[in-house]
């Protein structure tokens, strides 16, 4: 497999460090496990000293010495960015380092036991970002820009009364541009958008989707996955028995839990209730937006906006995939002169035409698909199992997968929604 970018976090503590009467290293590992981190390893040192200058040595005489402990955690950059603040809250004394690394092999055993008794509480995220109905929309956008979330619950007295999604911000909040595209803009352009939101004086309660669909933390994963897939939801607020918000369950949480290499030929696999043994060909879509390397930029825009995926694969004359173009990459490639027109085309799915009818290439860092495409894409065979395809998607940080036939020709495409829907048996 191609090396995958990742981050390695090392947490240096001592054996006698405690957090709420438990060993600190155990508290860190339990947090990472509860938040669906990729994995963590505890390494017990035989000798060392830290900032205090005291030497800690393991010996037969002193088996209970305060030995150094290292918790090593490797995960995607997005996961590290999301969870590191919680880790730092736990570690009052010690040393924490982060460095870039590459994953060249990751073939995990089962991540979670997904039998029908497994519940939402086992995989949901407890790292909650919430707002109140009176929170200004500008503040909501600022909070969401700093997180990986694309939705935020609106609460009153701890109870979810609404949820604000990307669509809510665009359709009712006056944002005018999706959050993922907003992140692609230069700082002055982002500031201009935020200032415009301030001038509109809108609040969370005015734009939120009221009475959001929720799920109990005791609900089985199979039921939650079925609800999410059938209602095309990306995430669900999770409540306890009193109705208070206790977590968020995302489509990614469910996919991550089903991504392990399970023994799919045994009866136990079917007790999971999730059909990870289906072939990818059964769930893929064949309406793949494609362009050729020499396709001109206006036509590339049209291909990208032709489906809800906001992406197009670049193929050669034999339909072998050579690249991928996304709407965010297109925005990054055009100059500020052309950016407003490009955003309008992408958001409203309209033909991309320069208002002054000047050549598009004059205001971009590329003229063709080959100039703006990325080589960071993942392709899998149509006979691959769903569980294996999900594993590839998560390990390589992709939102879509190119599906190819035995000759390597592009025949289909799947995204997270397709994969989750494919996991749900016909009769649940």
Query: In CATH, what is the architecture of 120-268?
Result: Roll (3.10)
Tokens found for residue 216:
């109990």
Tokens found for residue 5:
């970018």
What span, in angstroms and rounded, lies between the C-alpha atoms of 85 and 91? 10
CATH code: domain 280-423 is 3.10.580.10
Q: What is the mean pLDDT of the chain?
A: 79
- For residue 106, the model assigns a pLDDT of 65
Question: Is the predicted pLDDT of residue 407 greater than 60, yes or no?
Answer: yes
Which residue do the tokens 């592009």 mark?
410
Strand 209-210 vs strand 379-381: parallel, antiparallel, or unpaired? unpaired
Question: Ranked by mean pLDDT, which of 134-143, 312-321, 355-364 comes out on top?
Answer: 312-321
Q: Which fold has domain 4-103?
A: Alpha-Beta Plaits (3.30.70)
Q: Where are the domains of the chain?
A: 4-103, 120-268, 280-423
Query: Which of 49-53, 201-205, 316-320, 337-341 has the weakest average pLDDT?
Result: 49-53
- For residue 265, the model assigns a pLDDT of 35
User: Minimal CA–CA distance to 386: which of 354, 420, 352?
Assistant: 420
Cα 392 to the center of its chain, rounded Å: 14
Query: Which of 216-220, 267-271, 313-317 has the weakest average pLDDT?
Result: 267-271
What span, in angstroms and rounded, lies between the C-alpha atoms of 269 and 413? 26
Tokens found for residue 84:
């590191």
Contact in structure between 245 and 237 (CB atoms under 8 Å): yes
What span, in angstroms and rounded, lies between the C-alpha atoms of 46 and 41? 16
Instruction: Say yes or no: do domains 4-103 and 120-268 share a fold.
Output: no
- For residue 349, the model assigns a pLDDT of 61
What span, in angstroms and rounded, lies between the C-alpha atoms of 201 and 217? 36
DSSP 363: G
Question: Is the predicted pLDDT of residue 301 greater than 70, yes or no?
Answer: yes
Question: Is the predicted pLDDT of residue 64 greater than 60, yes or no?
Answer: no
DSSP 94: S
DSSP 63: T
- For residue 148, the model assigns a pLDDT of 66
pLDDT in tens, 79-94: 898 889 989 988 988 8
Question: Is the predicted pLDDT of residue 247 greater than 80, yes or no?
Answer: yes
What span, in angstroms and rounded, lies between the C-alpha atoms of 304 and 336? 20
- For residue 352, the model assigns a pLDDT of 59
Which residue do the tokens 């007295």 mark?
157
Count Cβ atoms within 10 A of the Cβ of residue 86 and give its class: 0-12 exposed, 13-18 middle, 19 or more buried: middle
Local confidence band at 221 (pLDDT 50, 70, 90 cut-offs)? confident
Task: Decide which of 365 and 269 is more confident.
Answer: 365
Whole-Å CA distances, 309 to 177, 226, 282: 16, 22, 19
Whole-Å CA distances, 164 to 181, 182, 210, 229, 231: 17, 16, 9, 19, 17
Q: Name residue 98's beta-bridge partners.
A: 9
DSSP 365: S
Question: Is the predicted pLDDT of residue 61 greater than 80, yes or no?
Answer: no
Tokens found for residue 137:
């929309």
User: Minimal CA–CA distance to 409: which of 290, 264, 233?
Assistant: 290
User: Minimal CA–CA distance to 47: which of 58, 33, 37, 38?
Assistant: 58
User: Minimal CA–CA distance to 354: which of 328, 326, 368, 335?
Assistant: 335
What span, in angstroms and rounded, lies between the C-alpha atoms of 204 and 131? 8
């Amino acid at each position: 497999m191609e090396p995958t970018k990742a981050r390695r976090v090392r947490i240096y503590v001592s054996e006698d460090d405690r957090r709420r009467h438990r060993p600190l290293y155990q508290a860190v590992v339990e947090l990472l496990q509860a938040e669906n981190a990729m994995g963590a390893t505890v390494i017990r040192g035989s000798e060392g000293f830290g900032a205090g200058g005291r030497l800690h040595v393991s010996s037969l005489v002193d088996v209970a010495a305060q030995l150094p402990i290292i918790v090593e955690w490797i995960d995607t950059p997005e996961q590290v960015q999301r969870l590191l603040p919680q880790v730092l809250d736990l570690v009052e004394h010690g040393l924490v380092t982060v460095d870039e690394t590459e994953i060249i092999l990751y073939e995990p055993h089962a991540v979670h036991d997904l039998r029908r008794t497994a519940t939402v509480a086992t995989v949901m995220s407890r790292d909650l970002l919430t707002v109140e109905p009176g929170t200004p929309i500008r503040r909501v956008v600022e909070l969401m820009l700093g997180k990986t979330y694309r939705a935020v619950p609106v609460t009153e007295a701890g109870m979810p009364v609404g949820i604000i999604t990307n669509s809510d911000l665009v359709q009712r909040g006056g944002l005018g541009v999706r959050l993922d595209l907003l992140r692609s803009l230069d700082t002055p352009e982002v500031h201009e958008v935020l200032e415009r939101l301030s001038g509109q004086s809108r609040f969370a309660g005015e734009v939120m989707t009221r009475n959001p669909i929720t799920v109990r933390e005791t609900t089985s994963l199979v039921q939650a996955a079925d609800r999410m897939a059938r209602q095309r939801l990306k995430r669900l607020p999770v409540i306890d028995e009193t109705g208070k918000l206790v977590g968020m369950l995302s489509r990614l949480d469910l996919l991550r839990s089903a991504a392990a290499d399970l023994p799919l030929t045994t009866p136990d696999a079917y007790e999971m209730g999730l059909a990870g043994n289906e072939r990818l060909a059964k769930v893929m879509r064949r309406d793949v937006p494609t362009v050729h390397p020499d396709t001109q930029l206006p036509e590339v825009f049209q291909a990208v906006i032709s489906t809800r995926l906001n992406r197009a694969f670049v193929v050669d004359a034999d339909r072998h995939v050579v690249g991928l173009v996304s709407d965010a990459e297109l925005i990054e490639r055009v100059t500020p002169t052309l950016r407003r027109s490009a955003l309008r085309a992408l958001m409203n799915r309209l033909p991309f035409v320069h208002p002054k009818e000047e050549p598009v290439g004059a205001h971009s860092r590329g003229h063709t698909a080959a100039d703006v495409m990325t080589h960071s894409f993942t392709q899998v065979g149509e006979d691959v199992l769903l569980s294996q395809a999900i594993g590839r998607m998560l390990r390589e940080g992709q939102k879509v997968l190119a599906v190819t036939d035995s000759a390597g020709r592009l025949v289909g495409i799947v995204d997270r929604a397709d994969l989750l829907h494919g996991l749900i048996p016909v009769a649940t």
